[in-house]
Amino acid sequence: MAIIGQDIKQAAALLKNGEVVAIPTETVYGLAANALDSEAVKLIFTTKERPMTNPLIIHLPSLEAVQDYVTEFPPLAKKLAAVFCPGPLTMVLPKKEIVPDLVTAGLPNVAVRIPNHQLTLELLQTLGFPLAAPSANPFGYISPTTAQHVAKQLGDKIPYILDGGLCQKGLESTIVNFQNDKVIVYRLGAISLEELAEVVGADNLILDNLKLEKPLSPGMLPYHYSPHTSLFLTDDLENDILSFNKEKIGIITLSKVFQNIPKKHQIQLSLNDDLANAGHLLYQAMHQLDALSLEAIFVEKMPDEGIGKTMNDRLKRAAYKR
Protein backbone atom coordinates (compact mmCIF):
# COMPACT_ATOMS: atom_id res chain seq x y z
CA MET A 1 0.00 0.00 0.00
CA ALA A 2 1.24 3.47 -0.83
CA ILE A 3 2.64 5.62 1.96
CA ILE A 4 0.79 8.94 2.26
CA GLY A 5 3.05 11.74 3.48
CA GLN A 6 4.66 15.11 2.92
CA ASP A 7 8.26 14.00 2.60
CA ILE A 8 9.66 15.68 -0.51
CA LYS A 9 13.02 13.91 -0.08
CA GLN A 10 11.39 10.49 -0.10
CA ALA A 11 9.27 11.37 -3.13
CA ALA A 12 12.36 12.70 -4.92
CA ALA A 13 14.40 9.58 -4.12
CA LEU A 14 11.69 7.31 -5.57
CA LEU A 15 11.33 9.46 -8.70
CA LYS A 16 15.10 9.52 -9.22
CA ASN A 17 14.96 5.75 -8.99
CA GLY A 18 12.52 5.58 -11.93
CA GLU A 19 9.40 4.99 -9.85
CA VAL A 20 5.94 6.53 -10.07
CA VAL A 21 4.72 8.89 -7.31
CA ALA A 22 1.40 10.72 -6.92
CA ILE A 23 1.81 14.49 -6.56
CA PRO A 24 -0.59 17.26 -5.57
CA THR A 25 -1.27 20.19 -7.87
CA GLU A 26 -3.77 23.03 -7.65
CA THR A 27 -5.97 21.26 -10.24
CA VAL A 28 -6.02 17.52 -9.50
CA TYR A 29 -3.46 14.97 -8.26
CA GLY A 30 -0.99 13.75 -10.87
CA LEU A 31 0.67 10.35 -11.35
CA ALA A 32 4.26 11.46 -11.88
CA ALA A 33 7.48 10.00 -13.25
CA ASN A 34 10.74 11.32 -14.71
CA ALA A 35 9.65 12.71 -18.09
CA LEU A 36 13.10 12.12 -19.58
CA ASP A 37 13.19 8.42 -18.66
CA SER A 38 11.05 6.39 -21.09
CA GLU A 39 11.00 3.35 -18.82
CA ALA A 40 9.63 5.42 -15.96
CA VAL A 41 7.07 7.04 -18.26
CA LYS A 42 5.96 3.61 -19.42
CA LEU A 43 5.15 2.77 -15.79
CA ILE A 44 2.65 5.66 -15.72
CA PHE A 45 0.74 4.15 -18.62
CA THR A 46 0.67 0.66 -17.15
CA THR A 47 -0.29 1.88 -13.67
CA LYS A 48 -3.19 3.93 -15.06
CA GLU A 49 -4.06 1.38 -17.74
CA ARG A 50 -3.96 4.27 -20.16
CA PRO A 51 -3.46 3.77 -23.91
CA MET A 52 0.00 4.90 -25.03
CA THR A 53 -1.59 6.90 -27.84
CA ASN A 54 -2.68 9.46 -25.26
CA PRO A 55 0.13 11.99 -24.61
CA LEU A 56 1.19 13.35 -21.21
CA ILE A 57 1.72 16.84 -19.80
CA ILE A 58 5.21 17.63 -18.49
CA HIS A 59 5.41 19.65 -15.28
CA LEU A 60 8.20 22.18 -14.79
CA PRO A 61 9.33 24.32 -11.83
CA SER A 62 9.47 27.65 -13.71
CA LEU A 63 8.81 29.45 -16.96
CA GLU A 64 12.57 29.66 -17.58
CA ALA A 65 12.74 25.85 -17.63
CA VAL A 66 10.17 25.67 -20.48
CA GLN A 67 12.79 26.80 -23.01
CA ASP A 68 14.80 23.63 -22.43
CA TYR A 69 11.98 21.50 -23.83
CA VAL A 70 10.31 23.55 -26.60
CA THR A 71 11.64 25.05 -29.83
CA GLU A 72 9.10 27.87 -30.05
CA PHE A 73 7.38 30.09 -27.52
CA PRO A 74 5.08 32.41 -29.49
CA PRO A 75 4.19 35.92 -28.24
CA LEU A 76 0.61 34.89 -27.37
CA ALA A 77 1.97 32.06 -25.22
CA LYS A 78 4.24 34.54 -23.44
CA LYS A 79 1.29 36.81 -22.83
CA LEU A 80 -0.80 34.03 -21.28
CA ALA A 81 2.14 32.61 -19.33
CA ALA A 82 2.87 36.00 -17.79
CA VAL A 83 -0.60 36.00 -16.25
CA PHE A 84 -1.32 32.32 -15.56
CA CYS A 85 2.03 30.63 -14.77
CA PRO A 86 2.45 29.06 -12.34
CA GLY A 87 -1.13 27.94 -12.63
CA PRO A 88 -3.70 25.76 -14.38
CA LEU A 89 -2.56 26.64 -17.92
CA THR A 90 -1.15 23.88 -20.13
CA MET A 91 0.54 25.04 -23.34
CA VAL A 92 1.02 22.67 -26.26
CA LEU A 93 4.25 23.76 -28.04
CA PRO A 94 6.74 22.29 -30.55
CA LYS A 95 9.00 19.92 -28.64
CA LYS A 96 12.76 19.62 -28.49
CA GLU A 97 14.41 16.29 -29.21
CA ILE A 98 15.13 15.70 -25.52
CA VAL A 99 11.42 14.99 -24.83
CA PRO A 100 10.84 11.24 -25.36
CA ASP A 101 8.32 10.24 -28.02
CA LEU A 102 6.48 8.17 -25.44
CA VAL A 103 5.55 11.39 -23.57
CA THR A 104 3.98 13.01 -26.64
CA ALA A 105 2.63 9.79 -28.19
CA GLY A 106 4.84 10.51 -31.18
CA LEU A 107 3.40 14.01 -31.75
CA PRO A 108 5.74 16.90 -32.63
CA ASN A 109 4.29 19.00 -29.79
CA VAL A 110 4.66 18.66 -26.04
CA ALA A 111 2.19 19.87 -23.39
CA VAL A 112 3.90 21.90 -20.62
CA ARG A 113 2.62 23.31 -17.36
CA ILE A 114 3.98 24.93 -14.20
CA PRO A 115 1.73 23.71 -11.40
CA ASN A 116 0.91 26.14 -8.63
CA HIS A 117 1.37 23.98 -5.54
CA GLN A 118 4.10 24.67 -3.01
CA LEU A 119 5.03 21.03 -2.30
CA THR A 120 5.22 20.06 -5.94
CA LEU A 121 7.14 23.20 -6.93
CA GLU A 122 9.70 22.38 -4.24
CA LEU A 123 9.87 18.80 -5.45
CA LEU A 124 10.41 19.92 -9.07
CA GLN A 125 13.17 22.28 -7.99
CA THR A 126 15.08 19.56 -6.17
CA LEU A 127 14.72 17.03 -9.02
CA GLY A 128 16.34 18.77 -11.95
CA PHE A 129 14.15 16.89 -14.44
CA PRO A 130 10.52 17.49 -15.46
CA LEU A 131 7.70 15.24 -14.30
CA ALA A 132 5.36 13.69 -16.82
CA ALA A 133 2.01 13.37 -15.09
CA PRO A 134 -1.53 12.58 -16.12
CA SER A 135 -4.30 12.82 -13.55
CA ALA A 136 -3.81 10.08 -10.93
CA ASN A 137 -6.97 8.11 -11.69
CA PRO A 138 -7.46 4.80 -13.46
CA PHE A 139 -8.15 5.58 -17.13
CA GLY A 140 -11.70 6.88 -17.57
CA TYR A 141 -12.50 7.37 -13.86
CA ILE A 142 -13.02 10.65 -11.95
CA SER A 143 -9.79 12.60 -11.29
CA PRO A 144 -8.60 12.66 -7.66
CA THR A 145 -8.62 15.88 -5.64
CA THR A 146 -7.33 14.41 -2.35
CA ALA A 147 -4.52 11.99 -1.45
CA GLN A 148 -7.21 9.63 -0.16
CA HIS A 149 -8.91 9.52 -3.59
CA VAL A 150 -5.58 8.45 -5.09
CA ALA A 151 -5.00 5.86 -2.37
CA LYS A 152 -8.41 4.33 -2.93
CA GLN A 153 -7.97 3.94 -6.70
CA LEU A 154 -4.23 3.33 -7.15
CA GLY A 155 -2.83 2.87 -3.63
CA ASP A 156 -1.84 -0.75 -4.18
CA LYS A 157 0.10 0.08 -7.34
CA ILE A 158 2.34 2.97 -6.27
CA PRO A 159 4.85 3.42 -3.43
CA TYR A 160 4.15 7.02 -2.36
CA ILE A 161 1.48 9.73 -2.42
CA LEU A 162 2.68 13.23 -1.65
CA ASP A 163 -0.19 14.70 0.36
CA GLY A 164 -0.93 18.32 -0.49
CA GLY A 165 -4.49 18.42 0.85
CA LEU A 166 -7.65 19.12 -1.14
CA CYS A 167 -6.79 20.60 -4.56
CA GLN A 168 -7.50 24.30 -4.68
CA LYS A 169 -9.08 24.40 -8.17
CA GLY A 170 -10.44 20.85 -8.29
CA LEU A 171 -10.69 20.74 -12.09
CA GLU A 172 -7.95 19.96 -14.63
CA SER A 173 -5.87 22.64 -16.34
CA THR A 174 -7.03 24.53 -19.42
CA ILE A 175 -5.09 23.25 -22.46
CA VAL A 176 -4.18 25.66 -25.26
CA ASN A 177 -2.29 25.57 -28.53
CA PHE A 178 -1.24 28.48 -30.75
CA GLN A 179 -1.92 28.69 -34.47
CA ASN A 180 -1.75 31.74 -36.76
CA ASP A 181 -1.76 34.20 -33.87
CA LYS A 182 -4.84 32.57 -32.35
CA VAL A 183 -5.25 30.63 -29.14
CA ILE A 184 -6.91 27.26 -29.70
CA VAL A 185 -8.52 25.84 -26.56
CA TYR A 186 -8.18 22.04 -26.62
CA ARG A 187 -9.64 21.44 -23.19
CA LEU A 188 -11.78 23.70 -21.02
CA GLY A 189 -10.33 23.80 -17.54
CA ALA A 190 -9.70 25.69 -14.33
CA ILE A 191 -9.04 28.92 -16.25
CA SER A 192 -12.31 30.02 -17.82
CA LEU A 193 -12.71 31.23 -21.40
CA GLU A 194 -13.66 34.63 -20.02
CA GLU A 195 -10.35 34.83 -18.15
CA LEU A 196 -8.39 33.85 -21.27
CA ALA A 197 -10.32 36.41 -23.33
CA GLU A 198 -9.43 39.16 -20.88
CA VAL A 199 -5.77 38.58 -21.68
CA VAL A 200 -5.74 37.82 -25.41
CA GLY A 201 -9.10 39.21 -26.57
CA ALA A 202 -12.20 37.14 -27.37
CA ASP A 203 -11.52 37.45 -31.13
CA ASN A 204 -8.25 35.56 -30.73
CA LEU A 205 -9.80 32.58 -28.93
CA ILE A 206 -11.01 29.47 -30.72
CA LEU A 207 -12.70 26.76 -28.69
CA ASP A 208 -12.25 23.38 -30.29
CA ASN A 209 -13.16 20.75 -27.75
CA LEU A 210 -16.88 20.84 -27.18
CA LYS A 211 -17.87 18.35 -29.86
CA LEU A 212 -18.13 15.26 -27.74
CA GLU A 213 -18.37 13.07 -30.81
CA LYS A 214 -15.19 14.36 -32.44
CA PRO A 215 -12.28 14.55 -30.00
CA LEU A 216 -9.55 16.88 -31.20
CA SER A 217 -6.84 16.46 -28.61
CA PRO A 218 -6.04 12.76 -28.43
CA GLY A 219 -7.45 11.65 -25.14
CA MET A 220 -10.35 14.08 -25.21
CA LEU A 221 -12.65 11.11 -25.34
CA PRO A 222 -16.40 11.56 -25.10
CA TYR A 223 -16.53 9.17 -22.15
CA HIS A 224 -14.29 10.10 -19.29
CA TYR A 225 -14.32 11.34 -15.70
CA SER A 226 -16.99 8.74 -14.91
CA PRO A 227 -17.99 7.36 -11.53
CA HIS A 228 -18.91 3.66 -11.35
CA THR A 229 -22.47 4.64 -10.47
CA SER A 230 -24.51 5.70 -13.49
CA LEU A 231 -24.47 9.50 -13.70
CA PHE A 232 -27.12 11.71 -15.28
CA LEU A 233 -26.68 15.37 -16.13
CA THR A 234 -29.98 17.22 -16.10
CA ASP A 235 -31.45 20.69 -16.34
CA ASP A 236 -34.73 19.47 -14.86
CA LEU A 237 -33.72 17.62 -11.71
CA GLU A 238 -37.15 17.71 -10.01
CA ASN A 239 -38.77 16.04 -12.98
CA ASP A 240 -36.03 13.57 -13.89
CA ILE A 241 -35.88 11.96 -10.46
CA LEU A 242 -39.66 11.45 -10.19
CA SER A 243 -39.65 7.78 -11.16
CA PHE A 244 -36.65 6.85 -8.98
CA ASN A 245 -36.64 5.48 -5.44
CA LYS A 246 -35.58 8.58 -3.46
CA GLU A 247 -33.68 6.43 -0.95
CA LYS A 248 -31.41 5.04 -3.65
CA ILE A 249 -30.27 8.03 -5.64
CA GLY A 250 -27.69 10.72 -5.05
CA ILE A 251 -27.91 14.29 -6.25
CA ILE A 252 -25.39 17.07 -6.74
CA THR A 253 -26.70 20.60 -7.12
CA LEU A 254 -25.20 24.06 -7.08
CA SER A 255 -27.31 25.19 -4.13
CA LYS A 256 -30.77 23.59 -4.29
CA VAL A 257 -31.87 21.45 -1.34
CA PHE A 258 -34.30 18.54 -1.75
CA GLN A 259 -36.54 17.66 1.20
CA ASN A 260 -37.49 14.15 0.04
CA ILE A 261 -33.93 12.86 -0.45
CA PRO A 262 -31.74 11.62 2.44
CA LYS A 263 -29.35 14.38 3.53
CA LYS A 264 -26.26 12.23 3.14
CA HIS A 265 -27.19 11.48 -0.47
CA GLN A 266 -27.27 15.10 -1.58
CA ILE A 267 -24.46 17.56 -1.98
CA GLN A 268 -24.80 21.29 -2.54
CA LEU A 269 -21.57 22.54 -4.12
CA SER A 270 -21.92 26.19 -3.17
CA LEU A 271 -24.78 27.57 -1.13
CA ASN A 272 -24.00 31.09 -2.37
CA ASP A 273 -23.84 29.96 -6.02
CA ASP A 274 -20.11 30.63 -6.39
CA LEU A 275 -19.06 28.63 -9.46
CA ALA A 276 -15.31 28.63 -8.71
CA ASN A 277 -16.02 27.15 -5.31
CA ALA A 278 -18.44 24.65 -6.84
CA GLY A 279 -15.75 23.56 -9.34
CA HIS A 280 -13.31 23.08 -6.49
CA LEU A 281 -15.70 20.58 -4.84
CA LEU A 282 -17.28 18.82 -7.84
CA TYR A 283 -14.99 15.77 -8.13
CA GLN A 284 -14.90 15.31 -4.38
CA ALA A 285 -18.71 15.22 -4.39
CA MET A 286 -18.69 12.65 -7.21
CA HIS A 287 -16.16 10.47 -5.34
CA GLN A 288 -18.23 10.74 -2.16
CA LEU A 289 -21.54 9.71 -3.72
CA ASP A 290 -19.89 7.02 -5.84
CA ALA A 291 -18.77 5.28 -2.64
CA LEU A 292 -22.39 4.86 -1.43
CA SER A 293 -23.46 2.15 -3.92
CA LEU A 294 -26.47 4.13 -5.10
CA GLU A 295 -28.55 3.29 -8.18
CA ALA A 296 -27.84 6.60 -9.89
CA ILE A 297 -26.30 10.01 -9.36
CA PHE A 298 -28.11 13.04 -10.78
CA VAL A 299 -26.19 16.24 -11.30
CA GLU A 300 -27.81 19.57 -11.98
CA LYS A 301 -26.44 21.33 -15.07
CA MET A 302 -24.38 24.35 -14.06
CA PRO A 303 -24.89 27.87 -15.45
CA ASP A 304 -23.11 27.96 -18.83
CA GLU A 305 -20.55 30.61 -17.92
CA GLY A 306 -17.08 30.83 -16.39
CA ILE A 307 -16.07 27.65 -14.57
CA GLY A 308 -19.65 26.39 -15.04
CA LYS A 309 -18.73 25.68 -18.70
CA THR A 310 -15.80 23.50 -17.60
CA MET A 311 -17.96 21.67 -15.08
CA ASN A 312 -20.64 20.98 -17.71
CA ASP A 313 -17.97 19.70 -20.11
CA ARG A 314 -16.71 17.19 -17.52
CA LEU A 315 -20.22 16.22 -16.46
CA LYS A 316 -21.28 15.55 -20.07
CA ARG A 317 -18.36 13.17 -20.44
CA ALA A 318 -19.06 11.57 -17.05
CA ALA A 319 -22.68 11.03 -18.12
CA TYR A 320 -21.83 9.68 -21.56
CA LYS A 321 -23.28 6.19 -22.02
CA ARG A 322 -21.08 3.98 -24.16
Residue nearest ligand TXA (C-beta atom): 219
Residue 87 within binding range of ligand TXA, rule CB under 6 A: no
CB-nearer residue toward ligand TXA: 268 or 312: 312
Instruction: Count the neighbouring beta carbons within 10 Å of the beta carbon of residue 155.
Output: 17
CB-nearer residue toward Mg ion: 135 or 312: 135
Residue 314 within binding range of ligand TXA, rule CB under 6 A: no
Closest approach, Cβ 231 to ligand TXA, in A, equals 19
CB-nearer residue toward Mg ion: 244 or 320: 320
CA distance 62 to 128: 11
Residue 135 within binding range of Mg ion, rule CB under 5 A: yes
CA distance 30 to 161: 10
Pair 63, 35: CB distance under 8 Å: no
Site string for ligand TXA, 128-167 (x = CB under 6 A): -----xxx--------------------------------
Closest approach, Cβ 241 to ligand TXA, in A, equals 31
CA distances from 250 to 70, 138, 150, 223, 258 (A): 46, 23, 22, 20, 11
Sort 134 into a burial class: Cβ within 10 Å, 0-12 / 13-18 / 19+: buried
CA distance 220 to 12: 30
Q: Which of 63, 72, 292, 57 lies closest to 175, judged by CA?
A: 57
Site string for ligand TXA, 213-242 (x = CB under 6 A): ----xxxx----------------------
DSSP letter assigned to residue 105: T
Residues binding ligand TXA (CB under 6 A):
25, 27-28, 30, 54-57, 88, 90, 92, 104, 107, 109-111, 113, 115, 133-135, 172-173, 175, 186, 217-220
Residues binding Mg ion (CB under 5 A):
135
